[in-house]
Structure 1
């Protein structure tokens, strides 16, 4: 479940001077996201941050700016279905669709998912022989 912390909620009508930035990172093996908005015309500033998958509007802006990474789901080289469900909270129907067509992730999400596939002990999976 994503945690969200809102520092300020001050809105103006978006204008040409408005600056909006959104980004993701990985901290302690978990997704983190931040959003920042500033309007110099009205001296309005707002910051948001949270853990987990970002809200859809932030995720859409990150994908529009950085592009999406297409990941296979299931199978030997794909993202495990259980991991995908845990990270994104997908329904069974969404998992079936992702298994068929793959999953579109932000570059940071793709890095986290693929690191989890390569190191299953960190992702809560089996540690392997030994």
Structure 2
């Protein structure tokens, strides 16, 4: 199971002070999952979890900490993998596939695995080096 995490800073919903925690993205049962855990000095803690594409704040922290990766694969199976993994429309998947999908390592590894299972070679490259 692929995982990436990054320190996260937010605002406490109880006292308004700055709080810290972890943003995480991972694959579980062939699907994307994300988590955001925050804790404040006032004692408030929050745990937010979800399936599919991560909240923008979670994704941005992981991209800032770990960089961007790009899927290298061709064919209609790429569209199917992108639609399956992210729940995108055909038009959205076509736009993402046309440029070669780029995203977090977790997202791109999941797509590469889905594409390979369909019998199509797939690789990934670090986008921002």
- Structure 2 gap segments, 5+ residues each: 1-11, 120-129
CA deviation map 1:25-47 (0-9, x unaligned): 2222222211101111x222100
1:117/1:99 Cα in 2 relative to 1: closer, same or farther (>3 Å)? closer
* Higher alpha-carbon Rg: 1
Q: TM-score, normalised by structure 1?
A: 0.68
Give the 3-state SS of the residue equivalent to 1:80 in structure 2: helix
Contact 2:32 2:107 in 1 (8 A): yes
**RMSD over aligned Cα atoms:** 2.4
1:31 and 2:32 are equivalent in the alignment = yes
Matching of residues 87-106 of structure 1 within 5 Å: 87-106=85-104
Among 88, 108, 113, the residue aligned to 2:111: 113
Give the 3-state SS of the residue equivalent to 1:111 in structure 2: helix
1:30/1:89 Cα in 2 relative to 1: closer, same or farther (>3 Å)? closer
Q: Which residue of 2 aligns with 1:55?
A: 55
